[in-house]
Amino acid sequence: MAPRSDTRQSGTHQSGTEELDATIRIATPENIAFQYQLAGPFRRLPAFLIDLAIRMGVLFLMAMVVGMLGLLGPNVASPIWMVFIIIYFGLEWFYGTLFEALWNGQTPGKWLLGLRVLTTSGQPINGLQAVVRNLFRLLDLMPPLPLAAFIAGAPIVATLPTGLVGLMSCLMSPRYQRLGDWLSDTIVVIEEKAWLPGTVKLEDQRAAQLATYIPPTFVVNRTLAQALATYVERRPYFSLARRREIAKHLAEPLVAKFGFPADTGYDLLLCALYHRTFIEAQPGEVGGDHRAFGSQPQAYGSIQPPQAEGIYFVK
């Protein structure tokens, strides 16, 4: 397990929105912080069931093959059955361990659902952690529910795991850790393949025209830029009346501020502002637009990130 005391600081230090969105912030050796979304118990259950089904399926197929080989006589069948039983034992206890160690924190079920096991500091897990978190799944599946509760006459040893311990443990952890995760200091995150939305193409030409009337002294600050981007990305999904209703809160004061006619469309104004902020450089504006950097100090004015320079020399 990773260094012992200080690493989990990075996980527990969460701001308000991170707690709301159940994300975890991870600092990389490259000295930047990025976010993962944590996987909750009901996101992980299907992965577990898929893995269970795979295990059962493999055992079933193997049992059929071994059963057929058994027809060759007891001297052949017996050693094969021994191997089969040992593999059964191995799958029962070490299926997850093996895959998580070999596949860098994923089992087939987790791979299908885009989950991955990491340490709480975002590092890959090591073999020891893979062993610990999979051994203690036994406790997470407790308490067992005796089948005799539903089926009269079922033997008392026939039980169904309920997983309540693991569920409670997940709910009590800020990072959705089950007992095995607590013990091995690991988390499960959602590793998504997000698509790049880019900027929105505004089909309405009036937005570009209106943009030229916005006073050049007006500075769009960071939060306003975020709000604009969010609004314009989502407005295609809203009806006209709804757009107007949402845009009103932001646009009404701006109309007054810019001195536009009172019948200016609220939606159109926000689109124009978006166009001016994100898409088209103003006439007379050269290269680096300092306003685009909001409150950032001048040192960030160079668009080229310092580390990125090397890539022009490789191939």
Partner 1 sequence: MKVAALLAERQVRWTELEMLCARIESTGSSGLPPETLTRFATLYRAVCADLALADAYQLPPGTVHYLHALVGRCHNQLYRGKFFDFEAWGRVLLIDAPQTVFNDRCVQLVFVLFWGVFLLSAYLAATPSAWPQYAEEAITREQITTLETNFKNPPHGRDPSENYVMAGYYIQHNTSIGLQCFVTGLFIVPGLGTLVFNASFLGACFGYMARPDVPEGINFYEFVTAHGPFELTAIVLSAGAGLRLGISVLFTRGWTRLSSLQLAAQDAMPVMGSAMVLFFLAALVEGFVSPSNLPYAAKATVAILSSLLLLIYFVVLGFPRGGIRATR
- State the nearest-atom distance from the C-beta of 30 to partner 1, in Å: 4
CB-based contact 116:105 (threshold 8 Å) = yes
* Residue 128 lies near partner 1 (rule: CB under 8 A): yes
d(CA 226, CA 270): 12
Q: Which one of residues 45, 54, 93, 204 is an interface residue with partner 1 (CB under 8 A)? A: 93
**C-alpha count within 13 angstroms, C-beta hemisphere, residue 191:** 14
Kindly indicate which of the ranges 54-62, 99-107, 255-263, 264-272 contains the residues binding partner 1, using the contact rule CB under 8 A.
Answer: 99-107
Q: Which one of residues 83, 145, 149, 160 is an interface residue with partner 1 (CB under 8 A)? A: 83
CB-based contact 35:18 (threshold 8 Å) = yes
Kindly indicate which of the ranges 46-54, 124-132, 150-158, 240-248 contains the residues binding partner 1, using the contact rule CB under 8 A.
Answer: 124-132
ω before 74 within 30° of 0 (cis)?
no
* Residue 305 lies near partner 1 (rule: CB under 8 A): yes
Q: Which one of residues 3, 127, 174, 253 is an interface residue with partner 1 (CB under 8 A)? A: 127
Q: Which one of residues 3, 49, 149, 280 is an interface residue with partner 1 (CB under 8 A)? A: 280
- Short-list 205, 212, 191, 189, CA closest to 284: 212
- State the nearest-atom distance from the C-beta of 306 to partner 1, in Å: 7
Q: Which one of residues 199, 212, 216, 249 is an interface residue with partner 1 (CB under 8 A)? A: 199
| Residues within window 167-186 making contact with partner 1, judged by CB under 8 A | 179, 182-185
- State the nearest-atom distance from the C-beta of 89 to partner 1, in Å: 4
The nearer residue to partner 1, 121 or 266, going by C-beta atoms, is: 121
Provide CB contacts within 8 A for 5, sequence distance 6+.
Answer: none
DSSP assignment of 37-81, as one string? EEP-HHHHHHHHHHHHHHHHHHHHHHHHHHHHHGGG-HHHHHHHH
* Residue 211 lies near partner 1 (rule: CB under 8 A): no
- Short-list 55, 65, 51, 127, CA closest to 91: 55
The nearer residue to partner 1, 15 or 315, going by C-beta atoms, is: 315
Q: Which one of residues 92, 162, 242, 245 is an interface residue with partner 1 (CB under 8 A)? A: 92
Q: What is the dihedral of CA 31, 35, 41, 43, to 10 degrees?
A: -130
* Residue 39 lies near partner 1 (rule: CB under 8 A): no
* Residue 64 lies near partner 1 (rule: CB under 8 A): no
